[in-house]
Structure 1
Amino acid sequence: MLTPAKLLECLQFRYATKKFDTERKISSHDWAVLEQALLLAPSSFGLQPWKFLVIDDPALRAELATKSWGQTQITEASHLVVFTTRTDMTEADVDRYMASLATAQDRPVDSLGGYRSVIAGYAAAMTTEARHAWNVRQTYLALGQFMISAAVLGIDTCPLEGMDPAAYDEVLGLSGSGYATSVACAAGYRSTDDKYASSPKSRFPLEEIIEHR
């Protein structure tokens, strides 16, 4: 486990990298760990309403850059992940998770009937739009876990909301898939001439943002 001091060091290391070193690539071993970090990300009820698209094709990344205000991180970073989210949460989604949970816990799926009813009832009480928004919030939990995990490994990241999500969906062929783009994240290693790497972090005083009651 990390020491408290090491954890704070990793958090200080992390920043939204604006310029990546195009010559440095994340090793296959480290990338496999980051994929596991995504797999292990928390979500409400454990439903995992997402799919993470790792964009390896340079031509595809170049096309996505044109839908991202020309941000160079899209093409310069070692890796690019597009975080997509379930556009709804149906009973079929819940049943799929129940089957997975039953297998993981080595128990009959019927024994999870009460838990299934709670989840299905919670989802049914919302509109489709609200369920999508709920799913998107879960996806951002995965984004946070990915970024912190990368920082622990000494890998830089940049979360990217400056994009046209609908255009991403079109480029990535997501229409009718049940998933839609929420956010992207570039990962790799900072360039030595990224001036933002040495910029001090600006944070409000702790006593202004944390309140004990």
Structure 2
Amino acid sequence: MNPISPTDLLDALTWRYATKKFDPTKTIASETWSALEESLILTPSSYGLQPWKFLVVTDPELKQQLQPLSWNQAQVADCSHYVVFTIKKNLTAADVDRFVARTAEVRGVPVESIAGYRGMMVSDVVHGARSFNVNEWATRQTYIALGNFMTSAALLGIDTCPMEGIEPVKYDKLLNLSEAGYATVVACAAGYRAEDDKYAELAKVRFAKSEVVEVR
């Protein structure tokens, strides 16, 4: 792998902003979008359990239906791709076993060889103290995916806007998520900024490094 330069990274992160107005005539190319989907898949998670599913909405009619459930924000309808980040609710031992089976398949090892790891995950996430707030734990994992997605998009020159101003329960109903055992957490619009989005030129407001980074 050839790493990008520190300058390129900071340039991309400085260029990025929460896009308020997308150009509805511009669509993300399939090759670029495929890479962004892979960035979601490659997101790290606690234990590697990946307690999520990412719904990619490109259908104009469905985006229009989601807009009034999103404080009527125009980004939902005008973006190229709209990603709904969901959690797998109430993880069970079966969910752990699915991950263990996948691990054995990908790494070419017997399931039995991972029995100890499986036991640790079940005793923590399914039966341990974490089980009492497992959906909150899964939600935190999903926000890792959101951050990874937005940074990856910036590096590819794609604009994004994280969307917490949504009605998750109504999203779940419209997208038929509850029946499948999933729940909406947050969403993110992706596409290309409109030329007249005034927020694109505003300076970023961040606290000084000395106030937020402490080296010991």
Same fold (TM over 0.5): yes
Aligned to 1:24: 26
In structure 2, how many angstroms separate the alpha carbons of the residues matched to 1:209 and 1:46? 29
In structure 2, how many angstroms separate the alpha carbons of the residues matched to 1:34 and 1:176? 27
8 Å CA contact 2:21–2:193 kept in 1: the answer is yes
Aligned to 1:160: 163
For residue 88 of structure 1, report the CA deviation from its aligned partner: 1.4
RMSD value, Cα: 0.9
The equivalent position to 2:129 in structure 1, one of 122, 126, 129, is 126
SS of match in other structure, 1:8 = helix
| TM-score (norm: length of structure 2) | 0.96
In structure 1, how many angstroms separate the alpha carbons of the residues matched to 2:199 and 2:168? 26
1:10 maps to 2:6:
no
For residue 174 of structure 1, report the CA deviation from its aligned partner: 1.0
- After the TM superposition, which segments of 4 or more aligned residues of structure 1 sit over 6 Å from their partners? none
Aligned to 2:110: 108
- Structure 2 vs 1, CA of residues 45 and 88 (structure 1 numbering), >3 Å: closer, same or farther? same
SS of match in other structure, 1:66 = helix
Aligned to 1:210: 213
In structure 1, how many angstroms separate the alpha carbons of the residues matched to 2:152 and 2:103? 25
In structure 2, how many angstroms separate the alpha carbons of the residues matched to 1:12 and 1:44? 29
188-197 or 123-132: bigger deviation:
123-132
For residue 128 of structure 1, report the CA deviation from its aligned partner: 5.0
Question: What are the ranges of 5 or more consecutive residues in structure 1 without an aligned counterpart?
Answer: none
SS of match in other structure, 1:176 = helix
CA distances 1:49-99 after superposition (whole Å, capped 9, x unpaired): 000001122111111101011000000001101001011121001000000
In structure 1, how many angstroms separate the alpha carbons of the residues matched to 2:12 and 2:104? 36
Identical positions, percent: 52
In structure 1, how many angstroms separate the alpha carbons of the residues matched to 2:89 and 2:164? 18
State the number of aligned residues: 213
